[in-house]
Amino acid sequence: MNKDVDVTESEQPEPAAAGLDETLAETVESPTAEPGPAWPSCPSCGAEVAPEDGYCEECGADLLVRRSEPVAPTGGPCRTADCAGESFTDGYCDVCGTPEPDPRDHYERDLGAVAGVTDRGLRHSRNEDDMAFAVIGATGEAPTVVAVVCDGVSTSYKPETASATAVHTAREHLVLALRRGEDPQSATLGAFEQAHKAVVALPSDPTDAANGRASTMVSVVASEHGITVGWVGDARVYWLDQNPEDSLVLTLDDSWAGRMIADGTLTEEEAFKSPLAHTILRWLGPGAPEEPANLRVFLPEGPGLVLACSDGLWNYLPAAADLARVAAGGFGGLLPAASALTAVALEGGGHDNITAVLAPWPTRHPEPAGGEPTGEISSLSEGIQS
Amino acid sequence: MSAQPQFSVNVYQNEYLSEGAAEVNAIVSVQSAAAYGGAPNTRAAQVIMVDCSGSMDYPPTKMSAARRATEAAIDAIRDGVPFAVVAGTHVARMVFPGTEYLVPADASSRAAAKAAVSRLTAGGGTAMGQWLALADRLFTGHDQAIRHAILLTDGKDEHEEPSDLAAALSRCEGRFTCDCRGIGTDWVVAELRRVSTALLGTVDIVADPTRLATDFQQIIEHAMGKAVGDVRLRLWAPQGAQIKFVKQVAPQIVDLSARRAPGPNPLTGDYPTGAWGAESRDYQVCVQVRPGSVGDEMLAGRVSLVSVDGAGQATTLGQGLVKATWSDDIAQTGRIDRTVADYTGQTELADAIREGLEARKNGDLDTATARLGRAVKLAAESGNDETALLLSKVVDVEDPATGTVRLKSRVSDADEMTLDTRSTRTARVGKNRNNG
């Protein structure tokens, strides 16, 4: 860890020639570089607002919170390349029989201070993962970033509904609790309680009442005070250090393999060979063990990225350092970095749904001038390739 | 609006295909629970065609049995159902009533009809196309009724050209259903089967004339139990797919593939199934789809049962989905659906019998022995005891397990024709075996 501190401190002041370091330097500088009016108008009603306003005087919108949008309810025309079908019956295209496109098959969200990708993968007929995040705080100060990732338990009833309900319930609880001034740890525990209740409240399988809905969940609250992580199940949160070798996983899987590794019974290699490896020991939903969520507070010693992801990603790339290297481009643009991580899992076979949500630490607002993501993406794509 | 019977549709298949596989097979099991008491409110119309050709007097028991059977059938017609009796020879002649129309059944019309039937005598030839054409004319104006006919014959359709019968059948298709019975052994199974298949009815041999009355009575009772007429099996398949076949596989095998009529859109076709009472029928659907990659899912077919009223208005009575999902998991793709497998086996059994009997007729004894041996093996494997018994009257079975048989040197015509007519009857497959 000492070495970690040395490296960070020595590299930060002088922008190096390498692409990665250059973009990092820009990122750190940008919030103070251009102080101009960040919120000239209310994003909800368009009324003129002052930078210091917490709420819009016209419509009452919360000017200090920006949320990732949930997916659209329907998915547009048929996804088969040579099919002109636009109508669907029983969930299938009326022309070619392909399942109706589900907007959750693949969607991306980018709030500047946090961005994520979720993807169905190649072997599952449905994306049972979901994600939601928010950025809280006025320009000119380091924002608080909230991110939630859920992985519906495949064997449960309609797992995609459990994950969608859980991410949105948890994200809302975190946003409101933090806006009330609650500390991140109690806000996180509250978010898991509320998400659990919301999943329990969903109707169970009409043909098998014992088959309730279930999801795993991880949450991240990142602010200038550090990173607060909550989890239940085997989705993970990683710290991806600017120096990849100093990256680490912040969660401990609530799975059979996680338990065996944690108590020293088996090595990581041995544990993951077992067919039981991915058996979940904790989840949200009916029948879940009633304990508070796992909690960890982490204060990085230098800049880096927080990654919240489902096992569809880390199964292909479990080592934190490897994830850090793939995400390296994310120091300049988060969404392409999240896409790069997703691509690794897809190229590896895409056996499960994949979700990757990234936020830089220290947290930052997007550059006011760079609000259009296109410029960011093009510059970053070059960065990844180089 | 009359009470429509409740139709339930279940699909049995292994939807998992290995990479590159493109053929999707499914059994679509349809059960209609016609509301009891619903059927008597349904409008029906009935025509009975009795062969009165000269051969019906050789032996004379055939003509007397036909008279008794027709009288029993008349008694079984429900009150108020319009009916008529037709005498069939080289022409078609009205027996009751005297002119070409249908009379509602009541005590006096039944008595008058039976009196007319009791005076029936044999004399003349056989031209079934003429009989069917008259039945078709009689049903005119009864479009709202479930129209059913019985055709009884003892001989070959020899007083008209085969094309005359074919033309009559194509006019009558979809107009009424017709159950056919052959009495004696001088009629031709293939010919009568052509009639029953085209008109969505049954065909059977009545080797013993004394059983004919009971048989006719049951046919009429069955017809009177029909609650919905003109039901069609409507099959949607994805663009680029090819329908390999659509067959009824229970209670008997009827290949409907060639009966496809255009549906409401180009991807949809309608196959006639006739009228339904409270009954179960199973269909096998085979669709060739564009092959997918592992992880792909596709709707390979949507099977609906629709009833079409006189105005052409379609009502969906039930629906099932046939799916395809490509997988690299051998535990999924390797699973054999017992229902599909059993019906595939029973279809092969029927084919083996038909081909074996045909070869035997043509003097190709090697092929006959091989095909009938195969049939014996399949019947033994599937536990189809009824067919096994019929086969044992045509071949001497040495070992049913291997299908080793010898052709009997002397086989009665009745036994051979019974095996031929009943070879398409299937043993209903127990669907719950899939869970075993």
Residue B357 corresponds to which tokens in the numbers above?
């009997």
Nearest CA in chain A to B267: A95
pLDDT of residue A26: 37
The helix or strand, by DSSP H or E, that contains position B191, with its residue range, turns out to be helix B189-198
pLDDT of residue B277: 86
B97: three-class secondary structure by DSSP: coil
B7 min Cα distance to partner chain A (Å): 18
Chain A environment of B289 (Cβ under 8 Å): 97
Nearest CA in chain B to A98: B298
Write down the residue that tokens 């309730």 correspond to. A212
pLDDT of residue B382: 81
The verdict on a CB contact (< 8 Å) between B238 and A124 is: no
Residues B306-356: tens digit of each pLDDT: 988 767 788 899 999 999 999 888 888 888 888 998 899 889 999 999 999
Residue in B16, B235, B299 to test binding to A, most A beta-carbons within 10 Å: B299
Find all residues with CB under 8 Å of A214, minimum gap 6, and list them.
A152, A153, A156, A159, A162, A199, A280, A283, A284, A285, A286, A287, A288
Residue in A87, A96, A98, A123 to test binding to B, most B beta-carbons within 10 Å: A96
pLDDT of residue A24: 38
Establish if A125 touches chain B: CB-CB under 8 angstroms.
Answer: yes
Task: Give the lowest-confidence range in A244-258, A319-333, B176-190, B366-380.
Answer: A319-333
Report whether B152 contacts B85 (CB < 8 A).
Answer: no
Bridge-based pairing state of the strands B395-399 and A226-232: unpaired
Residues B379-410: tens digit of each pLDDT: 988 888 889 999 999 999 999 999 999 999 88
Residue A285 corresponds to which tokens in the numbers above?
């939903």
Establish if A84 touches chain B: CB-CB under 8 angstroms.
Answer: no
Residues A90-111: tens digit of each pLDDT: 989 999 999 888 889 999 999 9
Residues B125-142: tens digit of each pLDDT: 999 999 999 999 999 999
Cα distances (angstroms) measured from residue B120 to each of A71, A116, A358, B114, B320: 79, 88, 94, 10, 50
The verdict on a CB contact (< 8 Å) between B240 and A96 is: yes
CA atoms of B30 and B36, how far apart (whole Å):
18
With vertex at residue A305, the alpha carbon angle to CA A304 and CA A306, rounded to the nearest 5 degrees, is 135
The helix or strand, by DSSP H or E, that contains position A151, with its residue range, turns out to be strand A144-152
Find all residues with CB under 8 Å of B202, minimum gap 6, and list them.
B179, B180, B196, B219, B252
Cα distances (angstroms) measured from residue B148 to each of A98, A317, B354: 42, 70, 28
Checking if the pLDDT of A29 tops 70, the result is no
The verdict on a CB contact (< 8 Å) between B267 and A124 is: no
CA atoms of A310 and A233, how far apart (whole Å):
10
Residue B44 corresponds to which tokens in the numbers above?
């029906």
The verdict on a CB contact (< 8 Å) between A123 and B325 is: no
Residue type present at position B6: Q
pLDDT of residue A71: 87
pLDDT of residue B262: 93
B29: three-class secondary structure by DSSP: strand
Find all residues with CB under 8 Å of A180, minimum gap 6, and list them.
none
Strand runs labelled E in B138-221: 146-153, 177-183, 203-206
